[in-house]
Structure 1
């Protein structure tokens, strides 16, 4: 039985509950060192050599941009998940790639072991249309007799026998009534890094002090929700350019979309992406910094609404900018050290959990220093001849919140980082994998929850740390891998 209330795709099996399943936008697996570290922490079966076949198995890769750097040894075809490039390439992308080469970085396939460098974005679209997890993995198999998908359902609690510590059923709401689904063998939770810990906590699996505070009987004392990790992203670098995008009739855009090209096929970071190693990462050839160039910035007001910027902050970042000819470069700290948490607000499944990302809180301030080094690199990158050809000019004005500091000094940038660093929606690590539950692990290397005989978690919550990539591709890998773990358990592999 599969529980999905969240956003990680799940493998081919039975499902209960859930909202729309969707992947992220850019398809970025991470560096081989990530997975070798994962294995070396006491998790056999999760090295790069172990997981690469699962990445390739799920992938249907299309090199629809013949100029994109590709190492076909690390890609698969014929899988459920489409991976391709946005077309046509933009002038912003050309400037970004040329600027990287000007500074000595090569063009690379970042889903190969040679991740450091720049590339057009590999994204989960198929003929220009978004290829989310639901359309990729579920829609093609809806007629299978061993699959039942119930939309508009909401899983609220696991029914666990307190004596045997075995999951006897899953309570979920559907059409105004509470139902229970009883597993024949086991239950697999894939509700994401926020909802998976929430569901475990509601079911009595979590830190005993927190469960006692919420008046929930303790079934298993585990550090569920205690280690929320995420990639922090700085949103404060906006630039003007001399590129003016032509306006066309709506019918032209629709015609392009139907051909799989044009602006209607853009899904997020459609331009360039790059991976770099800062002075703080001591492992050779291991990227800890990501840059993404986004253009044009017609969705700038999204950030004001989403992150709650006041008018002064918004005007300093976007005021007076022609969004139709502007671009941003986002800076992402990949090896996040700051640790947050996911806790219950109450013992009601209908209350949103309390999420504390706790960004830029690591005691040695490495996270903010990595982002500051990223700012300096972006300013250097946009000063190259390649960016001068498109008239790139830094546009943001000093933030009123940082007026006590000299504009664009180091102290100013540190202040700005604390004002404009937010979520990039890559939460992981709230049910981490590890060999010892006494050291904070929630699941073992088979994704089984410690102390519960028939329960697994299979989503980004099991990541033991943030990867040098985005969670969606590793989530798909986990889905493929847990399918084999289940088959192996019951001699079906």
Structure 2
């Protein structure tokens, strides 16, 4: 409630120039309270806050109903409402973002608010073994902006080869690189605010809704990371221009403030009379008849409603949410639905494949550089002047893309390094990954935070596949998420992470890092004590202990040409068997990408807008 009371005041807070004491005091209190509240916040375990047993009443009739206001839904609603004769309704379970979500540096505490669905996975045997009950956590954004309200803000599209393969897989050039590049540039407003950072203008757009910029100032540790890459022969390159190498991270902020999807695509058009955004609206079912989506049922502030649909339903609830809603609606694997006594409307492999990127976060490095620890008030003043640690999420200052032994010489990366500069770990670190006390003690308890950086290692094209299934036919129960990371029989995924470990160790031996006396921090994991410390066996053990999802869930409703081979949507984003039901989120991605899904989901939303306009002969 504290955050919401002050949400409107943001309009009165100056974004540039000198800041008065009241503004600084406000943000000091906001940041302090948000961080303190996070320490005691309890994540929900279901969605019963939306429960109502009332008989649904008619809410109205709309041309288009967009379910979910995340990265894809915000774009879809924005583009569809460009046609003045169409009326568009957006249903979103959460609320609008506020001043706290706007602060990128509150990345961890915001995960402990009502902006997070906070799903849990099932106990694992191949990953997350250092977490309590071996459970991987699945934070997902709930609010107008979706996961862009709580994500790490990295703007990384993926590489040309990813999209060319997608286009072939879908048998449609619309999803090949030449086509998707047009949509990436259409959305983007790239601001080259760090002239030392790499930038290839031919691959970027200017004037779109989605701003992309660099954080400032650079950490000396980040500069060492970039120099270390150069010493090993890697380029400092614009990775969104299909180039391998390292770079400062491109992020979705606007002068240091989080630019969530709704702020980017819905706020500029909210005055349109044909666009309505209904918050606190939890969708439970899409009613269909003979291949036509007729109605959408939802709960709203203790009452149940249904909306009649004139033209189309656009499902954009995310890789987890969209698959749930389809299965509640009788669209999913026949046996699974029949086991739950849900009437089967269409037998499609919804949720049968869950793709993700596996992450190893077990490398912390101590240096002789000490990041100054200043009073919170100083950091707030920096933030209000568009710079400093509160203007970046998780201090994720650098990024690199590299070939593995599987892709050597192809120009396609399999390994991503995320460089997290000093002062990123905090009292929420153990809670954020769900770590056991023993794992946290071994990993971070004795780390000198102002002097240490972390390197996240990511496997970009994971072979392992998980599943999403319903717990019951009750739409207020959370789903059953089995990540199944690092489970492929050939061990390719864990081998790639191990190659990433070896790459980091090579970087630490460069002159750039030796000048900082960079040494591994933390103590050997007790769970891996039967292995010689730093041996291959030790690292394989450590990876399984302190691995997790990178929270890049996708592919639960994959695009393809044949539903008998697992496809759920066609290349026009239509659910097979339905003429007016489309999906516009990361669930449609048929293949893993060498990037982060947010940028790609925006592109999917852009494509949907044009596909629908083409269907109805509108421009």
Shift of 1:221: 0.2
Alignment partner of 1:4 is 2:79: no
C-alpha distance 3-214 of structure 1, shift in aligned 2 (>3 A): farther
Instruction: Say if 2:258 is the partner of 1:130.
Output: yes
Which residue in 1 is equivalent to 2:166?
38
Shift of 1:319: 2.9
CA RMSD, 1 decimal: 1.3
Cα distance, 1:8 vs structure 2:
2.7
Q: Does 1:229 align with 2:355?
A: yes
Whole-angstrom distance in 2 between the partners of 1:43 and 1:126: 37
Alignment partner, residue 347 of structure 1: 473
Point out the more displaced range, 223-232 or 293-302.
Answer: 293-302
CA contact (8 A) 1:300 1:318 kept: no
Q: What CA distance in whole angstroms lies between the structure 2 residues aligned with 1:2 and 1:81?
A: 23
Query: Structure 2 matches for 1:165-180, cutoff 5 A?
Result: 165-180=291-306
Pairing of 1:318-333 with structure 2 (within 5 A) = 318-333=444-459
Deviation at 1:333, TM superposition (A): 0.2
What residue is the counterpart of 1:102 in the other structure? Answer: 231
- Equivalent-residue separation in structure 1 for 2:171 and 2:319 (angstroms): 19
Shift of the alpha carbon at 1:254?
2.3
Question: 1:462 matched to which residue of 2?
Answer: 588
- CA separation in 1, counterparts of 2:335 and 2:468? 14
Partner residue in 1 for 2:245 = 117
Q: In 2, distance between residues paired with 1:417 and 1:6?
A: 35
SS of 1:119's partner is strand
- Provide the C-alpha distance between the structure 2 equivalents of 1:365 and 1:315, rounded to a whole number of angstroms: 28
**2:488 aligns to what?**
362
- What per-residue deviation string (whole Å, max 9, x for no partner) do you get for residues 132-171 of structure 1? 101111112111111110111111111112xx12111000
Q: 1:202-258 CA distances to partner (integer Å, 9 max, x unpaired)?
A: 000000000001110000000000110000000100111122222334333222212
**Residue 206 (structure 1) aligned to one of 332, 354, 379:** 332
CA distance in 1, matches of 2:347, 2:71: 25
Residue in 2 aligned with 1:272?
398
Q: Is the 8 A contact 1:342 1:354 kept in 2?
A: yes
* Per-residue CA distance 1:97-150 (angstroms, 9 max, x = gap): 000000000110000022x10000000000010001011111121111111101
2:567 equivalent among 410, 418, 441: 441
The residue number in structure 1 matching 2:269 is 141
Change (3 A) 1:251 1:305: closer
CA offset at residue 304 of structure 1? 1.6
1:300 Cα offset (Å): 4.3
Distance of 2:409 and 2:560 partners within structure 1: 22
Determine the C-alpha separation between the residues in 2 that align with 1:98 and 1:385: 9
Seen in structure 2, the aligned counterparts of structure 1 residues 281 and 6 have a Cα distance that, compared at 3 Å, is: farther
Contact 1:204 1:219 in 2 (8 A): yes
Range with bigger deviation, 309-318 or 452-461? 309-318
**Residues 169 and 180 in structure 1, CA contact (< 8 A), matched pair in contact too:** yes
Distance (Å, rounded) in 2 between the aligned partners of 1:439 and 1:9: 25
List gaps (5 residues or longer) in structure 1.
none
Which stretch shifts more, 71-80 or 257-266? 257-266
- How many Å apart are 1:26 and its aligned residue? 0.6
In the other structure, the counterpart of 1:59 is: 188
Distance 1:468 1:173 in 2: 38
Residues 8 and 191, structure 1, Cα contact 8 Å, conserved in 2: no
The 8 Å contact of residues 160 and 169 in structure 1, kept in 2 or not, is answered as yes
Q: CA deviation at 1:303?
A: 3.7
Secondary structure in structure 2 of the residue aligned to 1:280? coil
| Unpaired segments ≥5 residues, structure 2 | 1-63, 81-87, 95-142
CA distance in 2, matches of 1:183, 1:88: 50
Q: Report the CA distance between 1:64 and its aligned residue.
A: 0.3
Residue pair 2:396, 2:418 contacting (<8 A) in 1 also? no
- Give the aligned partner of residue 17 of structure 1: 92
1:225-264 superposed matches below 5 A: 225-264=351-390
Shift of residue 328 of structure 1? 0.3
**Structure 2: distance between partners of 1:300 and 1:361:** 31
Q: Residues of 1 paired with 2:335 and 2:421: CA distance? A: 47
SS of residue paired to 1:185: strand
Mapped contact 2:560–2:568 kept (Cα < 8 A)? yes
What CA distance in whole angstroms lies between the structure 2 residues aligned with 1:178 and 1:43? Answer: 41
How many residues of Structure 1 are paired with residues of Structure 2 in the alignment? 490
For 1:58 and 1:480, locate their aligned partners in 2 and report how far apart those are by CA, in whole Å.
8
Give distance in 1, aligned partners of 2:408 and 2:557: 28
User: Counterpart of 2:286?
Assistant: 158
Q: Secondary structure at the match of 1:279?
A: coil
Pairwise CA distance, 1:488: 0.2
Residue aligned with 2:606, SS: helix
Deviation, 1:283, is 6.4
Could you tell me whether the CA contact under 8 Å between 1:188 and 1:457 is conserved in 2?
yes
CA deviation profile, 1:397-419 (whole Å, cap 9, x unmatched): 21111111112211111111111
Which residue of the partner structure matches residue 78 of structure 1?
Answer: 207
Structure 1 contact 81–136 (Cα < 8 Å) conserved: yes
2:281 & 2:191 partners in 1: Cα distance?
35
Q: CA deviation at 1:391?
A: 2.2
Over 3 Å counting, the alpha-carbon distance change for 1:320 and 1:117 in structure 2 is same
